[in-house]
Homo-oligomer: A and B are copies of this chain.
Amino acid sequence: MGKILVIGAGGVGSVAVHKMAQLQAAGRDTFAHIVLASRTVAKCEAIAQSVKERTGVTIETHALDADDVPATVALINQVAPDLVCNLALPYQDLAIMDACLETGVHYMDTANYEPRDEAKFEYHWQWAYHDRFKEAGIMALLGSGFDPGVTSVFAAYLKKHYLDRIDTLDILDCNGGDHGQHFATNFNPEINIREVTAPARHWENGEWVETPALSHKQTFDFEGVGEKNMYLMYHEEIESLKTHIPEIQRIRFWMTFGDAYLTHLEVLQNVGMTRIDPVIYEGKEIIPLQFLKAVLPEPASLGETTKGKTNIGDIATGIAKDGSEKTYYINNICDHEAAYAETGNQAVSYTTGVPAMIGAALILDGVWSGEGVFNMEQMDPDPFMEMLNQHGLPWQVKELDGPLDF
């Protein structure tokens, strides 16, 4: 008889709550009570209505400013959930963790904390909560989305079943979807643009190698999508994977971008519209990137028109059980239109919301447990991998002829 409080009513929150409700409708009691809270209660209500129509399940909704720790504490005390599932903005991770500590309730999120005034994607802020969560006897599970999340579990799965030692790991994130807009981001534009315009960093031979944003390009033929240009980027799971699978010599993260997207981004950077420091406009401080977000299409509005597939996975090279060097590619392919038909959200939200539901289910069912702060790859990958196959994100492993040649 699990009770979950989900905070955040964007596309990811919508998918996660729909999937939780599907489990309830199927007779499992993991998500016996589902509560959804967000700054804008109308967004929660719209999701609740869709969930009711699609699954027959009723969810409870609340208005909550998750930056306000006492308000979050009060809502947790009122709702008394077994787990708080944070699907709000990364800025709010620490505030929600504080509220969980104060109320003694497990915590889970899908993206690491970022300070608002600086695009820094680092785990140290959240890892610093480990001892306090341990003392409180509760668990914080960080990054149960697709990347981080599924990509982290993929690495743990390869390590458990295929490779005794992983030497190199490449995470390849391809979105082959076309939303028919000149320019739009597939999730929160502010978070997306902060991430894409940050310098690229990868881990190699015991140190970070930093290169300018979008300066390293490779072409890769993605199954279900075709050939795409992908660019070396920093992504938060590199930091946790190099910590928890310490033998890895090199970890890189690649994301695909079309030329038009990059041209738009370059221009927006050139003119200063991606700045995250405030400018004075009519006597008021306004952050250009946040204003840009207000002008760009709402990512949620793109679902209806987006066609194509995502293809995200890990390529790992290392020493197999038999002592030989092997390279494996493990990935999921997700269809935008199918995702939209099922939950009213496209694949970028779907691929993050489903793993959020799975991480939450494993905590609520007691399959994954611990006291302290944990990343995904520290958990047993098998039950998570099984649920991916059952709940809409089937994966495949194949052996490649050899390591990547770049």
> What is the CB-to-nearest-CB distance from A61 to chain B, in angstroms, rounded to a whole number?
23
The 8 Å CB contact of A270, one of B264, B281, B284, is B264
> Within the assembled complex, what's the spacing in Å between the Cα atoms of A264 and B270?
9
Q: Is the CB of B271 within 8 A of A183?
A: yes
The 8 Å CB contact of A292, one of B264, B271, B275, B280, is B271
Question: How many chain-A residues does the 8 Å CB contact rule pick out?
Answer: 23
Contacts of A290 in B (CB 8 A): 281
The 8 Å CB contact of A295, one of B182, B279, B295, B296, is B279
Contacts of A291 in B (CB 8 A): 281, 286, 288, 291
> Within the assembled complex, what's the spacing in Å between the Cα atoms of A280 and B280?
17
Copies of this chain, how many? Answer: 2
Residues 262-285 of chain A, each 1 if its beta carbon lies under 8 Å from chain B, else 0: 011001101111010001110010
Contacts of A288 in B (CB 8 A): 291, 295
Contacts of A25 in B (CB 8 A): none
Q: Is the CB of B281 within 8 A of A296?
A: no
The 8 Å CB contact of A294, one of B182, B267, B270, B280, is B280
Provided the pairs A286-B291, A288-B295, A294-B280 are in contact, do residues A182 and B271 lie with their beta carbons within 8 angstroms?
Answer: yes
Contacts of A263 in B (CB 8 A): 263, 267
Contacts of A284 in B (CB 8 A): 284
Across the A-B interface, the 9 shortest Cβ-Cβ residue pairs: A182-B270, A267-B267, A272-B295, A281-B294, A264-B267, A183-B271, A183-B270, A288-B295, A279-B294
